[in-house]
Structure 1
Amino acid sequence: MGHMLWPFGTTWRPVRQRHRGTVDLRWLSARTWTRRWYPQGVDLGEWQGRRTLAVSWFRQKLDGTHLASRVAFVDLERSRHLDVLLAIDEDGMLQPAPIHAGGLAWFGDRLFVAATGRGIWEFDLSAIRRVRGAEARRVAGLSGRGVRASALVAVRTRVHPIDLRCSYLGRVFDADGTPLRRVLIGEYVTADSGRIAEYTIPETDEGRFEEQERFSPGLPRMQGAVRWGERHFVSQSDRMHPGALWTGRRDALERDRVPLPVGCEDLALDLDAKLLWSLGEHPWHRVVRGIPFRALGIDS
């Protein structure tokens, strides 16, 4: 991933807390309450050999106009983080990636991001670059001169067409914990007709996402899905109330007694730390939460 190192002297630092048995990351900054940036997707990976949590955000005007998207890479041991803006290359000029970034799946140097209604977008983490001045402000969605002197940017390498709305995206693991080259892709709809499908991811630049199976759990407002063996995990938001976690075989999901954060979004499995990660998007309720497997009745 190049020669970038932790930290970057930022005060925008997530703080790790224990709260009723969960591991909570909260932002000691305007990120806690801002209505301009909203967190969405989450996944686990390695950055320079360190266990790292990736959290996607989108930037908007207060009227809802999309401005930019980024991924915050959080060093889980040190709670330091690095922001990487997502960009597209239009005839040699970088522009902000116009996507909600509702889900992430991180495979080595390949970061797959849900692009609602427009498939899955792939970004190359091995080619992250630093841009400066007007280019940095443009990719960050800042108008005018602004204050941003420089920014790290990951550029889109491919668009993968998917026959679903692509609201969220989650990883798949075998029953023994082996990560598979598969993802779950699902649709957020307010009715109970949302679908989730499992795909293999392409191994080559020319490869395509190949659908394996799809199902409709009959749940409105689904926000994230992951699979470990036969056990599926699906998050369901409920406006300003705590979210619900549904677990079990795909044709027999049951609501878990453990609540998810208010405004819950994407899910990620952390088999090393035995945590299920989720996050809450709403201002003042914003948290990235790891729920221990033992609280979910999982013996691992």
Structure 2
Amino acid sequence: MLWPFGSTWRPVRHRQRDTVDLRWLSARTWTRRWYPQGIDLGTWQGRRTVAVSWFRQRLDGVHLASRVTFVDLERSRHLDVLLALTDEEGELQPAPIHAGGLAWFGDRLFVAATGRGIWEFDLGGIRKVRGAVAQRVGGSRRRGGRTTALVAVRTRVHPVALRCSYLGRVFADDGTPVPRVLIGEHRTDDSGRIGEFALPEDEGATTSSGFVEVDRFAPAIPRMQGVVRWGDRYFVSQSDDLRPGTLWSGGRDALRHDRVPLPVGCEDLALDPDARLLWSLGEHPWHRVVRGIPFSRLGIDGGRTDPSPRRT
């Protein structure tokens, strides 16, 4: 069952001169307990929706829980879904993953589980839990805490021979989605790698396989946070602490600085062919924004990509 969007809280949508910004109107904008990480676009109940992943931690850095917030792009209403797994006793436990990237295909949600491959969650089997279970999966054990929650349960773990810090989608240069993902490594030096993989078959298929690698390269960019591909052109986000992030774009072996800045503390990337936007987001408290950058600023025009990346 697909649950309806909530209506008690709405992020504010601003159309700036050059971008479309969603800003959080709640403690989400400054809390140090939940941090936004991954992003992708999909359809929820027939409506265009952006999905943003978060991880929860104690102030000492101990991981507590992960969730995905689904935001209706037209009405800006939101829905929180906690990510969970089933333990050996059949009990639901919080998914202990950083959730640094998302790839959303129908009811299949793939989430980057840093150092532990890609985890798949079933959006078609979302369930409502109550009481102690809701508090446990949400990482809260305090009295008077969460009493009900929506939960998506992990269905499969896909081992990948990369660190799996983030993942992004692939589109043909006419905007057609390709059943592949890009999986990359965040490293503080320039040793991070990016691999392209064909999607694993659905769990109900007669023969099941994991991600099949079709390409791998190392762009020599430190602190990579996200990657997507449009035709033959790649877009890679690079964070720079409390300064605006850098967008790299171009061919596989010719990535260069794009003149378009990314949010402070930039994270994942997602392509939106319908609205013709490249989405990113910032993770740092007080700098949190979900930002859409028009394709026209990136040299993507008329359904095709300008082969020459824009440089600073």
TM-score (norm 2): 0.94
How far apart are the structure 2 equivalents of 1:56 and 1:291?
A: 19
Corresponding residue for residue 252 of structure 1: 254
**What are the Cα deviations for residues 64-93 of structure 1, in whole angstroms up to 9, with x where unaligned?**
100000000000000000000000001210
Corresponding residue for residue 75 of structure 2: 78
- Which of 31, 34, 37 is equivalent to 2:31? 34
Corresponding residue for residue 293 of structure 2: 291
- Which of 120, 123, 127 is equivalent to 1:122? 120
How far apart are the structure 2 equivalents of 1:212 and 1:267?
A: 21
Amino acid paired to 1:42: I
Amino acid paired to 1:298: I
C-alpha contact 1:278 1:288 (8 A) present in aligned 2: yes
Instruction: Tell me how far 1:297 sits from its aligned partner.
Output: 2.3
1:73-152 equivalent positions in 2, closer than 5 A: 73-90=70-87, 91-152=89-150
C-alpha contact 2:2 2:126 (8 A) present in aligned 1: no
C-alpha contact 2:83 2:154 (8 A) present in aligned 1: yes
Instruction: Tell me how far 1:51 sits from its aligned partner.
Output: 0.3
1:34-73 equivalent positions in 2, closer than 5 A: 34-73=31-70
How far apart are the structure 1 equivalents of 2:144 and 2:192?
A: 41
**What are the Cα deviations for residues 135-181 of structure 1, in whole angstroms up to 9, with x where unaligned?**
00000000232321100000000000000000000000112211011
Instruction: Tell me how far 1:14 sits from its aligned partner.
Output: 1.1
Amino acid paired to 1:186: G
Corresponding residue for residue 272 of structure 2: 270
Q: Larger deviation: 143-152 or 222-231?
A: 143-152
Corresponding residue for residue 158 of structure 1: 156
How far apart are the structure 2 equivalents of 1:3 and 1:55?
A: 17
Instruction: Tell me how far 1:294 sits from its aligned partner.
Output: 0.9
C-alpha contact 1:137 1:146 (8 A) present in aligned 2: no
C-alpha contact 1:194 1:216 (8 A) present in aligned 2: yes
How far apart are the structure 2 equivalents of 1:116 and 1:263?
A: 18
Unmatched runs of 5 consecutive residues or more in structure 1 = none
How far apart are the structure 2 equivalents of 1:4 and 1:30?
A: 24
Instruction: State the 4+ residue runs in structure 1 displaced beyond 6 angstroms.
Output: none
C-alpha contact 2:38 2:101 (8 A) present in aligned 1: yes
Length, aligned pairs only:
297
How far apart are the structure 2 equivalents of 1:146 and 1:122?
A: 31
CA RMSD in angstroms, aligned pairs only: 0.8
C-alpha contact 2:101 2:167 (8 A) present in aligned 1: yes
TM-score (norm 1): 0.97
Secondary structure of 1:183's counterpart equals: strand
Instruction: Tell me how far 1:3 sits from its aligned partner.
Output: 4.4
Instruction: Tell me how far 1:10 sits from its aligned partner.
Output: 2.1
How far apart are the structure 2 equivalents of 1:281 and 1:246?
A: 19
**What are the Cα deviations for residues 222-270 of structure 1, in whole angstroms up to 9, with x where unaligned?**
0000001100000000011000000010100111101000000000000
Instruction: Tell me how far 1:9 sits from its aligned partner.
Output: 3.1
Amino acid paired to 1:131: V
C-alpha contact 2:7 2:78 (8 A) present in aligned 1: no
How far apart are the structure 2 equivalents of 1:78 and 1:212?
A: 39
Unmatched runs of 5 consecutive residues or more in structure 2 = 303-312
How far apart are the structure 2 equivalents of 1:240 and 1:299?
A: 32
Identity percentage of aligned residues? 75
